[in-house]
Structure 1
Amino acid sequence: MKKIMSILLALALSVTALGGCGTQETEAEPATLRVGALKGPTAMGMVKLMEDAEEGQTETNTYEFTLKASPDEITPLLVKGELDIAAVPANLAAVLSQKTDVQVLAINTLGVIYIVENGNTIQSVEDLKGKTIYASGKGATPEYGLNYILEGNGLNPETDVNIQWKSEHAECVAAMAIDPEGIAMLPQPFVTTAQAQNSDIRVALDLTEEWDKLQENSENPSSMITGVVVARTEFVEAHKDAVDLFLEQYGASVEYVNANTADAAQLIEKYDILKAAVAEKALPFCNIVCMTGDEMTDALSGYLNVLYEQNPAAVGGAMPADEFYYHE
């Protein structure tokens, strides 16, 4: 009898122990996520998450945000392991995947790039021939996207136009201010910033529309994608629950920003990204999204394939492997 009681007690203790493990597995462990973004649409889409984090309303996740003006300032921090998650240009993510173990978590910005001018001389891509274009984003999505559109319209980017590369978008706006015939390639919200400084500046070409024209007869038409969110694979594997919670919270932040432009604009100014008045005007044109899973994979792989066919170096010399695309 004692032996039977001992066995039953042991079984009861085992069940209790197993039940305890089960409970621990369902509870997300606290994690701190170091997130980097650029002072543009990518950071604008994060502002509600930034506020929630500041107020301690992000459940088991805590966040440390780093905002920079240029991808050149964000990328080294990610490579050195000083950031866990970062918003970067779409093609740069693919380049990074050839050198660093990263995964893309989401598409965060669709096409936001425009050709603007002082005047009314540019009505088509062909009209850019012989012109000087101030631009930033060399070696990233803006350069390769512009090259694809120029070449698709019969122009050689090296000989038919004079592209003056700047390190930041703000420098392009400044260059236009002192050049009466200035033409610039700018993303939102910098288009709105430039127009606030000079009411004569107009949007001449929407590069997303020009991309779509070139893709009309493709078997699997792709869209222009500006930015994505990537994470170090090591961090993802160690903190999968935290990453999934981040995607949920980031998606909610994007939804809030798109649905509440006036309130979001106040947060954008609060976090020193952009003045609220400019942000409110620009937000409807920023194409801020949080696209994940299969939808992300299909859209991004199609976009990267277009760049790869144009110039393999644009995506790091080879198309990313399937493991590049994160799925919850």
Structure 2
Amino acid sequence: MIKRRSLLALTGLDLLTSAVLAACSPKGGRASADATGSQFLDALHVHTPTTLAYAAPMTSFGTYGYLDALVGEVTKDNWASVDVLKSLLLNGETDLAAVPSYVPANLFSKGVDVRLLAIQVWGMQYVIGPVGSAEQGLEALRGKTVGVPMPGNMPDLIFRYLLGQKGWNVDTDLTIQSYTDGQEALGALLTGTVEYCVLPEHPASMSLARAQQQGKSLERTVNLQEVWASVTGGEARFPMAGLAMPTALADRSDLVGAILSELEAAVDDVNAMSEETVDAISSVNEVPADVVKEVIPRLQLQIVSGADAKDELEDFYTRLATLNPDIIGGSLPAGDLYISDPR
């Protein structure tokens, strides 16, 4: 059975404390042993943000049968902010949480019993601006005010890092206007408060659709994944976000393998974009089907275990740490952070 609830009403600041995760299954997810001695979870509590990068695969997560022998039900909640996410991890209230990739590194370095299961999202950040601005690329932003959501978090960090690597002074070459979340930034763009805005998917695609409805013309001015490739000399992708779980569950190879298989099946279905899958995602997440089709190819969804993604993650962490080492807890985390694929 799958249950879905919402944490959108939760708020809170400065929730990162020295507390650690409980050294057992999270609250509400009590485990019992079956006849073979295997641990059976009454429930697997999953927490994700509302962006389609996670909402899309989670629409069908838990339906493929890989978890049936190990889990009674899968419950799905949304976290409303990174502070709420950190609280869930610190208080042992989640079994599997979608996370910006630097969050488990930060918490692990502070002694929290959390592990990085896999990377799922490989970059989906864009600058949205007026039609015609794409021809100039980044230069279109010079001297302009750019809305950026989630100060100090992933959209802000990536944007500032790339500008710095391109030789920009973020204090004088443009004005960064910070917004709490993507929806607030999107609202500022559509009302004309800012002319440009950094947005992840699916808010980036929603901005284009809503602007068209209002008779406005916007486009993707900059693909930040392509800028990343030009800066690093690598691929047009980066390990943006993944899934974390408490150590007590990460030590169970049977459960880890089952979750990875379930995630891969869900991501494969999303990437295949069958009409049935698109309609289900549209219905559950209240996003128009045409927007879902537009968004999916840009989500860059691929399940790569934490251990297999380690090299790319360490490169990513090292680059982000040039902005602020505290982002990853002061130094690169030990290898124990990264969960290996046991299958």
TM-score range, shorter chain: 0.7 to 0.9
Q: Is 1:34 aligned to 2:45, yes or no?
A: yes
d(CA) in 1 for partners of 2:170 and 2:203?
23
Q: In structure 2, do the counterparts of structure 1 residues 68 and 276 end up closer, same or farther at CA, with 3 Å as the change threshold?
A: farther
Cα distance between partner residues in 2 of 1:244 and 1:85 = 13
Q: Deviations over 1:307-327 (max 9, x none)?
A: 224431222211111000001
Q: Distance in 1 between matches of 2:66 and 2:138?
A: 49
User: Which residue of the other structure, out of 93, 117, 128, is the alignment partner of 2:129?
Assistant: 117
Once the two structures are overlaid, the 10-residue window that deviates more, 255-264 or 226-235, is 255-264
1:1-328 matches, cutoff 5 A: 24=36, 29-40=40-51, 41-50=53-62, 52=63, 58-61=68-71, 62-99=73-110, 100-121=112-133, 123-179=136-192, 182-199=195-212, 200-216=217-233, 223-237=237-251, 239-272=252-285, 274-292=287-305, 294-327=307-340, 328=342
- Structure 2 equivalent of residue 8 of structure 1: none
- Offset at 1:171? 1.2
Q: Which amino acid aligns with 1:209?
A: E
Contact 2:66–2:261 (Cα < 8 Å) also in 1: no
Q: List runs of 5+ in structure 2 lacking aligned partners.
A: 1-34
One-letter amino acid of the structure 1 residue matched with residue 182 of structure 2: H
- Structure 1's consecutive aligned runs of 4 or more residues displaced over 6 angstroms after TM superposition are none
Distance 1:174 1:75, change over 3 A: same
TM-superposed CA distance for 1:180, in Å, is: 7.1
TM-score (norm 2): 0.80
Shift of 1:131: 1.4
Deviations 1:94-114 (A, max 9, x none): 212223221100001001000
Residue 229 of structure 2 aligns with an amino acid whose one-letter code is D
CA distance in 1 between counterparts of 2:276 and 2:79 reads 23
Query: Is the alpha carbon distance of 1:273 and 1:224 closer, same or farther for their aligned partners in structure 2, counting shifts above 3 Å?
Result: farther
What percentage of residue pairs aligned between the two structures are identical? Answer: 25
Larger Rg: 1
Counterpart of 2:99, as a letter, is: V
**Larger proportion of helix:** 1
Match of 1:3 in 2: none
| Alignment check: 8 A CA contact 2:55 2:285 kept | no
